[in-house]
Structure 1
Amino acid sequence: MVRWIHTHKLAGRNFWNIDTQPNSSWSWRKILDVRELVKGRFIHIVNNGEFTSMWYDIWCDFGPLADLVSTRMIYHEGSDPSFSIKDMVLANYLNWPSSWLSRFPQLAMISAPVLSLAPDVIKWRDIDGNLQDFLVHLVWETIRSKSTQVPWASDVWFSNNIPKHHFVMWLLMGEKLKTQDKLKHWKVSENQVLLCSLCEQVSESHDHLFFNCPFSLQVWNHVKNHMEFPIFSNSWKDFTLLVSPFAKRRIARNIMVKLLYAATVYSVWQERNNRLFKKKKRSVDQVYKDIYATVRLKLMTINWKKTPQTLRLKSDWKIS
């Protein structure tokens, strides 16, 4: 794919110059949108010169030569924008027109590549300026927006998580779940009372659902018995502060606690949605049993090391 992008020619233009057409596919438009972010990071190591564009690829210190020499000038001298390095190298020197050398003296400083039989190699210049083999994760690390890591990152994202549970956890940590208290910003009638669908007593919010609601508090109290963890508060914020210092340690108890925490949050949110939108209700015991079965099944899939702690965890969760 990378080689095709860099070598494909269309009407004398390559990938960097292709215009986005209105009827282009969504994926193709998105690929073209990142050109400005990545175009200066593809570095060509010239060997045989066949797959490196003379004008549009970066193979020398001055960047793409098309930034210096216009397409009109290229055609005027009998050259072609589709030429590769091999097309322009004659007897191991670059055959620059004298008019170009007088106008762009830096061209004289470019050494002619010594061609060989090996194919050209494309490298990626990472965020530190080092040349690396092209890998998708390096590209992502270079172009993505970055901010300071939040203290609860290890609570939410870890290798043994259940994705749908931890996506809801991620929304909870940012207080982005669409609880009913947020509807007041959507011009809902002031006379309409939006009560928690679990207890039907007070207005619904993140703090109420997790875990001040009488229903969710009962679920939470059932789950606590499996955590073997000192619980100082029923507030999800306080519990997160308690778990975070231990979350980075990949030991059996910590993984089990994080799985239980996320499964409880997910199940409470799921029960809220079922009652609100589907008019279906489950009891506290039914919600708790669903949490227990889900976490137990996940624990069964983990390849644990044989330690006294993991053996005790397997015994407690009835895992053979």
Structure 2
Amino acid sequence: MARLGKLKTADNLLLRGIQVPLNCSLCSGMLENHSQFFFNCDFSLYILKTILPDFNYFLLRPTLPQTLDFIENSGKFNNAEKDFCFLALSCIIYHIWRERNNRRFSDLRNNVVKLICNISSALRLKTFKWKNRNSLLQRFTIM
């Protein structure tokens, strides 16, 4: 749903006639829409660049489709690293969306450092049985 832009962000809900607060629940600085949420928002961009440091080299903020294309077509990554990047991006999207919903619907908040720790922990657990786990975690500074 995230790849297709079908998550129920404020702009998508408004199109359906559902009145919701329009500000981004993560940064509060912009109107919440799908492209802003992944990764035009300072909060989500910081998480992306921390977990996947190769995105620090982008001059402009990438959109979600651009991040997927970068991973797929990059000569910087071997196949195992691409698999790890796709897994990491999936974890980032999941945890950011979950944080957004917690903030919007239950007034629970994690700071960006806690969220990065949660994502890193999930990545360590998900790759527990990968044969090249340690080198991947070191390459992407998840240790």
Task: Say whether the fold is shared (TM-score over 0.5).
Answer: yes
The structure with the largest helix share of the pair is 2
> Does residue 240 in structure 1 map to residue 62 in structure 2?
no
**Alignment of structure 1 residues 105-124 onto 2, 5 Å:** none
1:292 has 2:128 as partner = no
Q: Report if the CA contact (8 A) 1:210-1:216 is conserved.
A: yes
Change (3 A) 1:273 1:172: same
SS at match of 2:25: coil
For the 8 Å contact 1:252–1:313, the answer to whether it is kept is no
CA distance in 1, matches of 2:68, 2:21: 30
* 2:27 matched residue in structure 1: 199
Q: What are the within-5 Å matches in structure 2 for residues 208-219 of structure 1?
A: 208-219=36-47
- 1:139-163, CA deviations, whole angstroms, 9 ceiling, x for partnerless residues? xxxxxxxxxxxxxxxxxxxxxxxxx
* Equivalent residue number for residue 176 of structure 1: 6
Distance in 2 (alpha carbons) for counterparts of 1:229 and 1:239? 8
Higher strand proportion: 1
Distance 1:242 1:300 in 2: 25
How many residues get paired? Answer: 136
Residues 115-148 of structure 1, C-alpha deviations (whole Å, 9 max, x = no match)? xxxxxxxxxxxxxxxxxxxxxxxxxxxxxxxxxx
Sort the Cα spacing of 1:258 and 1:183 in 2 relative to 1 into closer, same or farther, 3 A: same
Between the aligned partners of 2:48 and 2:137, the Cα distance in structure 1 is 22
Alignment gaps of 5+ in structure 2: none
- Listed as ranges, the matches of 1:183-194 within 5 Å are 183-188=13-18, 194=22
Q: Which sections of structure 1, spanning at least 5 residues, go unmatched?
A: 1-170, 305-309
Q: What secondary structure is seen at the aligned counterpart in 1 of 2:52?
A: helix
Higher alpha-carbon Rg = 1
| Residue 252 of structure 1: how far off its partner (Å) | 2.2
Q: Which amino acid aligns with 1:210?
A: F
More relative contact order, 1 or 2 (CA 8 Å, 6+ apart) = 2
Deviation at 1:193, TM superposition (A): 5.0
SS of corresponding position for 2:127: helix
Counterpart for residue 135 of structure 2: 313
Report Cα offsets for 1:97-122 as digits up to 9, x if no partner. Answer: xxxxxxxxxxxxxxxxxxxxxxxxxx
**Following the alignment from structure 1 to structure 2, what is the Cα–Cα distance between the partners of residues 315 and 271?**
24
Question: Do the aligned partners of 2:52 and 2:85 also contact (CA within 8 Å) in 1?
Answer: no
- Percent identity reads 27
